[in-house]
Amino acid sequence: MSKILHRRITLYFALGLAVLGINVAVSYYHIIRLVHNNALVTHSQEVIITLERMLSTLKDAETGQRGYLLTGSSSYLQPYNSAIAQIYQRVEQLQTLTSDNASQQQRLAILQPLINEKLRELDQTIQLRQTRGLAAAKQVVLSDRGKRVMDQIRGIVAQMQQEEEVLLELRSQQSSTSIQQTTLALSLIAILTLLLLLGVYALITRDLTRRKRAEAALQRSAQRLAILHDIDRAILEAHSSIEIAQSAVARLCYLVPCRQALVLCYHFDAGEAQVLGNSSNGQASLAVGARLPLSSGFSDPVLPNLVLTSGDVSTNGSQSLPTTTVIKDNARPVSLSNGVDLGENCVTLPLRSENTVIGELKLFGSRLVTLTPEHREITQEVANQLAIALEQAQLRERLQQNATELECRVLERTAQLQSANTELEAFGYSVSHDLRAPLRAMQGFTQALMEDYNDVLDGVGQDYARRISKAAQRMDVLIEDLLAYSRLSRAELELKPIDLDSLVSEVIAQLELEIRQRQAQIIVVNPLLPVIAHRVTLVQVLTNLLMNAIKFVASGVQPQIKIWAEARPEARPEAPPHQVRLWVQDNGIGIAPEHQERIFRVFERLHGVETYPGTGIGLAIVRKGVERMGGQVGVESNPSVGSRFWLELPKINTRERL
């Protein structure tokens, strides 16, 4: 309800209440006045009746007196005595009734002595009739004294009655006037109240009508938003431009009265338009996906707002294209093709992406169907959303196409790289393997030279021969490590549950000779937890770690090695551990922090070959092997204190068995 309407209704109610208050006041005033007038009328009537009764009572007394005088029978004295008893009551009533009327009081003051005189005359005649007989009483009667008094009484009573009748008529007129005024006032007030009520009713009815219209508009808006939301959701769920357009036009036909909705997408480079969506109440004239040639009029990619006129239809073999003659702002007609009049109306809206027209939305319908501004607004909204969705779909399709092409190129390059790596690994393996044959020949001939010609060679020649032999041995070990590292990169590792207790014991047994030569002390804290790993690779990893622990110790120091395992806690305290960390601790020379990452690289050496022999590949094999098994490796070390190498591998589940 608007503020103005609320104020008007409030004003009308206030006026209604005021009129009702006036009505009550006027009604009360007129009712009081009417009651007062009626009381006065009744009062005058009572005065007149009392006067008549008083006069009648006096006549009854006179009649009884006369009957007694004529007959001498005491039976006539009974009405006489009764009248005498009542006449004073009438006089007292008159005094009370005429107390508000001074003139009547004056007449009553004259009347009362006359009544007394009349009563004395009657009593005198009765006394004379009883004591001296009828003749004495008759002389008093014949004196006409009683008649004169009675005439005076009648005259005064007549005056009093006349005045009361005048008052009665006046008061009756006042009462009638009061009734008429009251009726008129009540009628006017009732009419005014009725008009106010009609005004309030009109305002409320007007407000209710507006509310109903607003509710209807709100319901239509809600329905429209719901369907537009469905269109948006369908557009978002669609995967291609055709699905988006088909979903949009199918729902648009429910919102806008039309026979057919059509979505065309321009391909200006190809000079054609593609039918992306076609929804019709009957049989669709164009198949979705069909491509149609564009006329020269569509060569301009920026079209203004198009205004439809009458509809045409064109034929193209088995497919027919109902189109309209669209008129640009400069009235230059453009059309898809030539056509004949179908007698339909058509609405054409361009599908714009920023400032470029990418297609159009067409609605066909009978000429009897009229699109309201709301229908046009809905169609424009759908066209705007459809343009955005089609643009996004085209970008998505283009991106998907580029991604597919890129993926194909990546697969092709990966295959080429894998082939090159395979060839390189095969070449390296072949070269490494082939190099060992001449190395063995060098070692054999050097050994034969030292054995067969040791007496011929002088000291320098013998030293050269020993150096050649040692160099050949180092080259052989180096080639062996390279082959091992290469095998780790190429081989497929089948991971299985491994019992670390037995595996560590096996590795220690293999290194028994080196342990005995270096008098190393190895302590294994059992039990070691089982892990998921590749057994051969894990043996090689532990062998390299133990060999380094035995080898890299200061001169004169007995190697002391400790091996133990622990389950690693997870980030979430309630989650069970899934990793096992195996520790290998030694009392060797230690590694400076800046070198701890380098030692896991290939050919990284921290000391000379003469001090600590080796190829520099052992720890690289350790890292490669652990990573191939899905684990990690690291070291904690301090120079001159020792090192703690650790490797983490997946923990065996309770359902897996060794």
Q: What is the pLDDT of residues 303-345, one digit of tens each?
A: 333 333 333 333 333 333 333 434 333 333 333 333 333 445 6
At residue 91, the pLDDT reads: 87
Q: What is the pLDDT of residues 36-49, one digit of tens each?
A: 888 888 888 888 89
The type of residue at 593 is P
- Given a cut of 70, whether residue 208 has pLDDT beyond it is yes
User: CA 573, CA 566: separation in Å to the nearest integer?
Assistant: 16
Among 344, 348, 362, CA closest to 303: 348
Which DSSP helix (H) or strand (E) runs through 439? Answer: helix 373-452
* Top-confidence residue, 453 or 343: 453
Written as six digits, the tokens of 147 are: 């008649």
- Given a cut of 60, whether residue 196 has pLDDT beyond it is yes
User: CA 482, CA 602: separation in Å to the nearest integer?
Assistant: 9
- Given a cut of 70, whether residue 656 has pLDDT beyond it is no
Per-residue confidence band for 523, with pLDDT thresholds at 50, 70 and 90: very high
Mean pLDDT of 579-590: 90
- Given a cut of 80, whether residue 177 has pLDDT beyond it is yes
At residue 313, the pLDDT reads: 33
At residue 77, the pLDDT reads: 84
Phi, psi of 613 (to 5 degrees): -65, 150
Q: What is the pLDDT of residues 473-516, one digit of tens each?
A: 878 877 877 777 777 776 777 888 989 899 999 999 988 888 98
Per-residue confidence band for 282, with pLDDT thresholds at 50, 70 and 90: low
What residues contact residue 582 under an 8 Å CB cut-off, 6+ apart?
A: 500, 528, 531, 563, 564, 565, 646, 647, 648, 649
At residue 478, the pLDDT reads: 78
**Do the bridges between strand 560-568 and strand 521-524 make them parallel or antiparallel, or are there none, so unpaired?**
parallel
At residue 331, the pLDDT reads: 32
Which DSSP helix (H) or strand (E) runs through 262? Answer: strand 260-267
- Given a cut of 70, whether residue 657 has pLDDT beyond it is no
Among 582, 598, 570, CA closest to 631: 582
Written as six digits, the tokens of 42 are: 């009744």
Among 116, 134, 118, CA closest to 126: 134
Phi, psi of 453 (to 5 degrees): -120, 30
At residue 251, the pLDDT reads: 79
Mean pLDDT of 424-451: 80
- Helix, strand and coil percent figures for the chain, each rounded to 5: 60, 15, 20
**DSSP string across 138-153:** HHHHHTTHHHHHHHHH
At residue 336, the pLDDT reads: 34
Written as six digits, the tokens of 588 are: 């060797």
Most confident stretch, 220-224, 423-427, 547-551:
547-551
Mean pLDDT of 212-234: 79
* Top-confidence residue, 347 or 462: 462
Mean pLDDT of 156-180: 86
User: CA 24, CA 193: separation in Å to the nearest integer?
Assistant: 12
Per-residue confidence band for 82, with pLDDT thresholds at 50, 70 and 90: confident
**DSSP string across 156-209:** HHHHHHHHHHHHHHHHHHHHHHHHHHHHHHHHHHHHHHHHHHHHHHHHHHHHHH
Per-residue confidence band for 411, with pLDDT thresholds at 50, 70 and 90: very high
| pTM of the predicted protein model | 0.41
Helix (H, G, I), strand (E, B) or coil at 647: strand
Q: What is the pLDDT of residues 467-483, one digit of tens each?
A: 888 888 878 877 877 77
Mean pLDDT of 146-165: 89
Percent of the chain with pLDDT over 70: 86
User: CA 165, CA 41: separation in Å to the nearest integer?
Assistant: 10
Per-residue confidence band for 285, with pLDDT thresholds at 50, 70 and 90: low
User: CA 433, CA 483: separation in Å to the nearest integer?
Assistant: 8
User: CA 5, CA 14: separation in Å to the nearest integer?
Assistant: 14
Most confident stretch, 198-212, 421-435, 601-615:
198-212
Mean pLDDT of 183-205: 82
What residues contact residue 513 under an 8 Å CB cut-off, 6+ apart?
A: none
CB 591 within 8 Å of CB 606: yes
- Given a cut of 80, whether residue 166 has pLDDT beyond it is yes
User: CA 553, CA 642: separation in Å to the nearest integer?
Assistant: 9
| Cα–Cα separations (whole angstroms), residue 275 to 264, 355, 597 | 5, 22, 63
User: CA 2, CA 10: separation in Å to the nearest integer?
Assistant: 12
For the chain, the distance separating the N- and C-terminal CA atoms, rounded to the nearest angstrom, is: 82
Q: What is the pLDDT of residues 11-36, one digit of tens each?
A: 777 877 787 788 788 778 878 888 88
Per-residue confidence band for 584, with pLDDT thresholds at 50, 70 and 90: very high
At residue 345, the pLDDT reads: 67
Mean pLDDT of 434-442: 80
Query: What mean pLDDT value characterizes the chain?
Result: 80
Most confident stretch, 50-59, 249-258, 292-301, 352-361:
50-59
CB 377 within 8 Å of CB 349: no
Written as six digits, the tokens of 335 are: 């059309």
Among 58, 62, 170, 183, CA closest to 122: 62
